[in-house]
Structure 1
Amino acid sequence: MRIFLETCPSSLVTLTLGFFHFPAQSKEKDEKTKDPYAVVGAKSHPNLKEFSLGAGYTPSFTPIDPEVSSAIFLGFLRSCSPDIKIYGLNLAHSWEFIQPEVTEAIAMLTGIRPRYFEVPAAEFSTEEDQAMADEISSLRRNHLHVDPSSNSTPRAVWRSIKIKGCPLTSPEAFSAIIESSQHGLQNLMIYLGERISSQHVQTILHHGTALRCFTFNHNRPLLDCRVMLQSTWNCTLLTQLDIHITGIPRPDVLFNWKGDKLLSDGALAAGTITDSRTISSIMDESRRLQRQIYTRLATLVNLESLQLGITCPPHLKAIVTLSNGKRGLFDRGQQLNCLEMSLDSGLDILAGMRSLKMLNVQSMEHRIGISELKWFERELPNFQALSGVETQTLRTCLLYDLDDPGLDRCGVGYEWC
């Protein structure tokens, strides 16, 4: 790794390397890595504007000699221009935090000292939540007291905020996170997001110009589509996004999660005669709105993973007997007023998202069929996996007494389920 970094071409403008864990080396290789004269033909990299490296290590499995880990990066960092943007995993055991010497080299090169904030899984009291808000806000407060004309001291900023605990309880805590998103935050990972409002989510996506990862593990917050369209998204560096977009009129959805007929506007109810022009106008409105949403998503040209759905845990699933006598395993968390994800609704607007590798539409009332599967394969060259198709296809066939459409025989080459 050291030889590669120090000898890569001086003309490089962007250097992006994938994720890896540091392997254990022999003592002989360690000594060679540390040797200041080990690299022949080292080059300067004055043109490099962006360096992205997903590298980390697990201390319990791969202990690393501090001198080795420092040697891998220090020579390379010293060869770069102060204008460079540096992206890492931003976690406790990723490359930029392995040794203080590396973190310090980044700070002296860029003028920004990367920091990470991590809260373990725990029940928060009001006092603990306030203390968390105070700590997150502290870097910004300290920066306000620094003479802006002084360039001698690197400015500390949060690069990563990871909260494993229970839902955020105080407005101050999330206000502090929103403030951090405006000042260099790259990774925001929250395990439980049910108390986070649509406006909070939209504010982060609007201000997070450095944001690379915005994810939730459980109970993702809902982003109302109309709030989503109130302001632009300036988070075009995002590579990973978990989001539930809601509030979309779906007159084509006739059943609730457990297969009961809906009586909502635009949905045909048993024994009711509904003006077909009304249904048509609602569908037209839905499609116009969905095209606007796809257009907003399409601005995320660096996105690699998009989680619009979520795999429901076993306790949220139920075996249901339908009125037609058929039985199926349905999700209580089924999203009904979500994107169709069909070509008719404007899916092809996402053709510019050529970095996309993974898409999750689990527990969504989507309309992905053979045409859409083939579109993903044809238009997205890096696409690898699509989850949530088989279960929704089975649900649709059961509810509407349809035959198996044969998606499993359509011949797409990526993984899907």
Structure 2
Amino acid sequence: MTETKKLDRWPAHHDPPSLLSLPSEILHIIFSTFSLVELANIVLVSKRSQTLVSPYLWHTLKLDSPATVKRFLSDPVQRALIRNAAFVRSLVLPPELYHVFLPHKGYHQYHPSHFANLQSINLPGKYNPRTGQTDRGSLGQDAEDAVSSLFRQNPSLTKVHIERNVGVESLLRMVSEDLPNLEDLDIEACQFGAWTAKVLLQNLPESIKHVAMIVAENEDDDVDNKMDISPTPKKHPALESLDIDLNSTEHEELILLPFLETCPNLKDYSNYTAQLVYNPRIKSILDKLGIEMRSMYNAVLDHNLDATDKEIAAVLSLSSQWTDIRLQGFRRAGPLTLAALLDHGENVVIVDVEGCSSLTSKDLCTILSKCKHLQEFITLEENEPDPITDPYILGTDLIEVKWATKSLKEWSCSIIVTRSRYDGDEAIDVEEAVKCLVLQRQVYRKLAEQTGLTTLRLNRIEAGLMDEIHYQEHCLEISLISGLEALEKLKDLQELDVSLIDHRIGVPELGWMQKHWPNLRRLNGMFGTCLNPMPGAQDWILLFRPAWLSSYEGY
């Protein structure tokens, strides 16, 4: 007993061991796994803990919500920011805070900003919660100059994402002069034409590793050579990924041919490689670099929606590496197309067959049974589902197929279930009603297998006269009695779309969603496109104000 007590006691001349006494390398590994709340709690322990943890707590400053913006404008947080700004490495800066965080202009130069050690910066547009849209309007000359100054004051910047329109000259100055160590550039929100794209690419720093941009179709602004190009083009040996949507391929050679020659180590030409399939000069360069086409969509066939089943299948056979197959509007896609698509079952991640009216319910089920890594399965046109051309799945087919994938994130497909006929609240045929509920529960259990789902869209309008609104009645009843509780495991669900279907979502269902789907941010079709809204649902929403409240039509 005495010996055990001696072993259990820590020697009096030593301090007891603590987390904060560990070497800094180990602390870095530990603290990098903590949440912001956990880090904030550790800061309160002691002055030493505050000194050690502050760099991790302030590493990322993500000001991406009205509540966060309001909090950062308060005096205590502003004082804390001044003390800890040196620790900030990653900044998400919305337009509402430009006046606080961008450098202010003096008589001859810009004053120093809060930050000098940034490695990553994102300038998002202004989000409108009512519409769900983001305003990507112009920065304006004053803001462009201030942003340029911020870049110069942070020589360690390697990653820049701009979601606002920036003037061509300002953008050129930023990428060629202000960001000498730039590695990752995303300017897909900016609008410019072919010649501007050519100039920007040629003047990128040699450190660049990834570029994402879009060339506007009708903005071939400077083909008359308004902007000068350096007589000695820069080399880009570090570039690994080029994500460029040319929109129109009219100027593809002007933009790409000279630039690709400066990128000997390019490994990935993004989702838009397929649109270059018919340009032998560019395809030859990509072939030499070992880059294969990965994204198949209707531009590959020059948007020829009358392409035959054989023609579509022939294009699918051009690459063995398709991961993203989008066949929107190819109404003649049939068995040959399906067979060619299934040849890529080992690789394909996205299948979009909106408007492919020749594909049957069993065809769609076959896709689900063969594509092992499928993440997005789309048969519905997002904004205007077409009851005549959008394919759908019968519930009876769905429950019989064994899905190959367990990694589905988006389900956008109508599920047809022949519903019972009701007279008031009474089923006309009780046996038929029981069969319908059994089938619905089986369908729900099938959907529940995809625990990673973030988007669930089930809307489909009935075939009929297109100048009238038609509601889908032969669909899942989104109700607890029909099996909704089977979807309890979908903890990542962010969007539910039940537009134009008779969904039966009432007060019990709303309460269940609030409890079991903590990440739900959009619920489309509750009232404005529902034929018979359930009584009490609207009052419940206004009383409990769920997180998705701003997304519904009546808000």
Q: Same fold (TM over 0.5)?
A: yes
Q: Which amino acid aligns with 1:377?
A: Q
Letter in 2 for 1:303: L
**Match for residue 231 of structure 1 among 373, 377, 401:** 401
Structure 1 pair 345–281 and aligned structure 2 pair: CA distance change class (3 A): same
Aligned partners of 1:301, 1:76: CA distance in 2, in Å? 39
Structure with the bigger RCO (C-alpha within 8 Å, sep 6+) is 1
**Aligned partner (choices 434, 442, 448) of residue 292 of structure 1:** 442
- Deviations 1:9-44, CA, capped at 9 Å, x for gaps: 7999xxxxxx98942654345321259xxxxxxxxx
The residue number in structure 2 matching 1:350 is: 487
- Cα distance in 2, alignment partners of residues 317 and 403 from structure 1: 31
Q: Which residue of 2 aligns with 1:103?
A: 268
Pairing 1:122–2:122 present:
no
> SS at 2:182's partner residue?
helix
Give the C-alpha shift of residue 393 in structure 1.
5.5
Between stretches 336-345 and 191-200, larger displacement belongs to 191-200
Q: Does 1:201 align with 2:364?
A: yes
CA contact (8 A) 1:366 1:392 kept: no
Q: Does 1:251 align with 2:251?
A: no
Indicate the residue corresponding to 2:349 in structure 1: 186
1:353 deviates by 0.7
Q: Which residue of 1 aligns with 2:176?
A: 27
Query: Aligned-pair distance for 1:233?
Result: 1.7
Q: Output the CA distance in 1 between the equivalents of 2:349 and 2:242.
A: 9
- Picking from 346, 362, 378, the partner of 1:215 is 378
Asked if the contact 2:399/2:443 (under 8 Å) is kept, the reply is yes
Structure 1 residues 303 and 371, CA gap change in structure 2 (3 angstroms): same
What SS class does the counterpart of residue 184 from structure 1 fall into? Answer: coil
> Which residue does the alignment assign to 1:374?
511
The AA in structure 1 aligned to 2:362 is: Q
Equivalences for residues 26-175 of structure 1 within 5 A: 26-34=175-183, 57=188, 60-61=191-192, 63=197, 65=201, 67=206, 69-70=208-209, 101-103=266-268, 115-120=294-299, 121-126=303-308, 129-139=309-319, 156-175=320-339
Per the alignment, residue 430 of structure 2 pairs with 280
**d(CA) in 1 for partners of 2:544, 2:500:** 24
Distance in 1 between the 2:497 and 2:453 partners?
13
Q: Contact 2:507–2:536 at 8 Å: present in 1 too?
A: no
Query: CA contact under 8 A between 1:185 and 1:210: conserved in structure 2?
Result: yes
* Conservation of the 8 A alpha-carbon contact between 2:368 and 2:405: yes
The SS at the match of 1:367 is coil
Higher strand share: 1
Unpaired runs of 5+ residues, structure 2, are: 1-27, 34-121, 125-159, 163-170, 213-235, 247-259, 271-285
Q: 1:356 and 1:403, CA in 2 relative to 1: closer, same or farther beyond 3 A?
A: closer
Whole-angstrom CA distance in 2 between matches of 1:104 and 1:195: 32
TM-score, with structure 1 as normaliser? 0.62
Given the superposition, is the C-alpha separation of residues 164 and 60 from structure 1 closer, same or farther in structure 2, using an over 3 Å criterion? Answer: farther
Q: Which runs of 5+ in 1 are unaligned?
A: 1-7, 13-18, 36-54, 79-87, 140-155, 256-265, 269-278, 319-330
Shift of 1:364: 1.1
Q: Secondary structure at the match of 1:231?
A: coil
> Within 2, Cα distance between the matches of 1:379 and 1:75?
50
Aligned length: 314
Deviating beyond 6 angstroms after TM superposition, the runs of 4 or more aligned structure 1 residues are 8-12, 72-78, 88-91, 311-315, 402-405
Equivalent residue for 1:15? none
Partner amino acid for 1:370? V
* Residues 359, 135 of structure 1: alpha-carbon distance in 2 compared, 3 angstrom cutoff: same
Offset at residue 410 of structure 1 (A) = 4.0
Deviation string 1:136-181 (CA, Å, 9 cap, x unpaired) is 1243xxxxxxxxxxxxxxxx4101122244413442122212322x
Q: Distance in 2 between matches of 1:294 and 1:339?
A: 9
| Candidates 446, 451, 458, aligned match of 1:308 | 458
C-alpha distance in 2 between matches for 1:367 and 1:72: 47
What are the equivalent positions in structure 2 for 1:263-278 lying under 5 Å apart? 268=428
Taking the aligned partners of 2:180 and 2:294, their CA distance within structure 1 comes to: 30
Distance 1:357 1:157 in 2: 30
Q: 1:376/1:410 Cα in 2 relative to 1: closer, same or farther (>3 Å)?
A: same
Query: How far is the alpha carbon of 1:57 from its aligned partner?
Result: 2.8
Query: Of the two, which has the highest radius of gyration?
Result: 2
Cα offsets for 1:205-234 (capped at 9, x unmatched): 122211122223243212011111112222
Q: Shift of residue 379 of structure 1?
A: 0.7
Q: Structure 1 residues 213, 341: CA separation in 2 closer, same or farther (over 3 Å shift)?
A: same
Change (3 A) 1:407 1:302: same
Any idea what SS the aligned residue of 1:158 has? coil
Once residues 360 and 123 of structure 1 are traced to their aligned partners in structure 2, the CA distance between those partners, rounded to angstroms, is 27
Q: What SS does structure 2 have at the residue aligned with 1:359? A: strand
Aligned position for 2:474: 337
Kept in 1: contact 2:354–2:391 (CA 8 A): no
Separation (CA, whole Å) in 1 of partners of 2:439 and 2:478: 13
